[in-house]
Chain A
Amino acid sequence: MWSWELFWDSFSALLPGLWITFAATVCGALLAYVLGLVFALIRQVRVPVLSQITFGLVEFIRSTPLLVQIFFFYWVVQPWMGVQWSAFWSGTIALGLHYACYTSEVYRAGIDAVPKGQWEASTALSLPRRRTWTGVILPQAIPRVLPALGNYTISMFKETPLLLAIGVIDIVGAAKDFGADHYSVEEAYTMAGIFFLVLSFPSSILVRRLERRFVKH
């Protein structure tokens, strides 16, 4: 039986979970942005050995489900590395690593889209390779990929409930606990859905605006 009282009560009960979801998304996204760029540069510059390792890692992660990777990182990789991070950090790193493999391909596409003439002009001016990357190529490539990075961030936000599998109490985890405590699940899960909708929808609009802006320029 639907209860409006439980529905409104679930709002405050889900707020700590919202904070966890938000923190996992921000930290995971930062990791994905930075690591994705590093992966892309390793492959574009064709760093020996590292380039092949990165290629293998990217293909492995893109070919396996995120849930399996979260379990694998928590139960296999951590013990193998001899570390014991909290479920939150383990899950967030797995999430960031997963999306880094997708953002690396986005960065690569952005770098490839910079006209060949920009490389040639840099060579003609004798600019050092590092400065060509940092001063010429990346400042042109990164703005082009911002909309795609934004879309991946929204996807990441919507996939954080997978961290519940290793015990991270995010919005969905908080809704599950609230439902169990009050013997009624529909109010809290509805509230969780509204949380996701209210945060994702404006973000999607923002990303679409970004896309339009960069298509125009």
Chain B
Amino acid sequence: MSSIDATEEPEVGAEATDDSANVMIQFDGVVKQFGDNVVLRELDFSVSPGEFVTLIGPSGSGKTTILRLLMTLEKVNGGTIQVDGEYLSHMYRGDKLVPADEKHLTKVRKRIGMVFQQFNLFPNMNVLQNITEAPIRVLGLPKSDAEERAKDLLDMVGLGEKVTAHPTQLSGGQQQRVAIARALAMRPDVLLLDEVTSALDPELVAGVLNVLKEIASTTDITFLCVTHEMGFAKDVSDRVLMFDQGQIIEDASPDKLFTEPEHERTREFLHAVIDRA
């Protein structure tokens, strides 16, 4: 496959998708490569509003890259990404679609939240400050409103008594729950979960997953989740996408994918993961 230059115009129509009301995330022919290593090969997929979609697949198959592209932590090398009908990686200049500038990225990025594998809480701030920092600085919320919302979120994730604690005083599971509250404080339309339990001790995993199940069932947030927790994926997902070598090789409901996978590669992967567990 030939590489596609980031400055090249995407081969799509000048208009965003017309059926954007039914699509929250849309990938059209997305290519991502690091040097000669092509991680995503003309990837097409979409996610509906409120849907919980889980990405599974072997390491290096491009799952995390998809989340990083959506969070604008990486730039696409080809194709386009839309969030709720608005281009993320590109923008209009006149009637031409060009690579997005920082101002456009910031505008669209506000609608997306991300929870990282390593939590990435700010160690120089306490729990409350971690959660209120962005709502105050980015959304312009009054401090009292931001703090009230942060305390509600901390209660929701079961850490109401940890308001003044610093991240270093919390366990990994508690830090991850604070990170979830921090992402939710921005009231995102899309929440990206990047192997949120991979860095946790096994006994702390359930607490984090229960919080996420609760959020998924009580909000209309669209979730895109990368995980190796197959039980969780089966319980909470509306759809599961199996990735291999930068492409989706199977897209099915969790019941179907985990019980009767169609693709041999999916069967191999599930066997390997379940045997390891």
Give me the interface of A with B, judged by CB distance under 8 Å: 115, 117-118, 120-121, 123-128, 131, 135-136, 139-140, 217
Contact = CB atoms under 8 A, between A and B. Distances in A.
B72 A120 contact: no
* Interface-centre pick from A121, A124, A127, A139 (highest chain B CB count, 10 A): A124
B118 interface: yes
A128 B71 CA distance: 15
A124 B71 contact: yes
A154 B147 CA distance: 44
A122 to B, nearest CB: 8
Contacts of B116: 117, 120-121, 124
Contacts, number: 56
B41 interface: no
A140 B123 contact: yes
B137 A117 contact: no
Determine the main DSSP class of B at the interface with A: loop
Given A117-B116, A131-B137, A126 B106 contact: yes
Contacts of B106: 126
Contact of B124 (A120, A125, A127, A140): A140
Interface string B118-138: 101111110000000110011
A139 B124 contact: yes
Interface string B83-125: 0000000000000000000000010011011101010111111
B241 interface: no
The range of chain B's interface size is 20 to 34
B240 interface: no
Interface on chain A toward B: helix, strand, loop, or mixed SS? helix
B208 interface: no
Given A118-B120, A136-B122, A125 B71 contact: no
B186 A126 contact: yes
B118 A117 contact: yes
A136 B124 contact: yes
B109 A126 contact: yes
Contacts of B121: 121
B138 A126 contact: yes
A125 B124 CA distance: 16
B21 interface: no
B198 to A, nearest CB: 14
Contacts of A128: 137-138
B110 A126 contact: yes
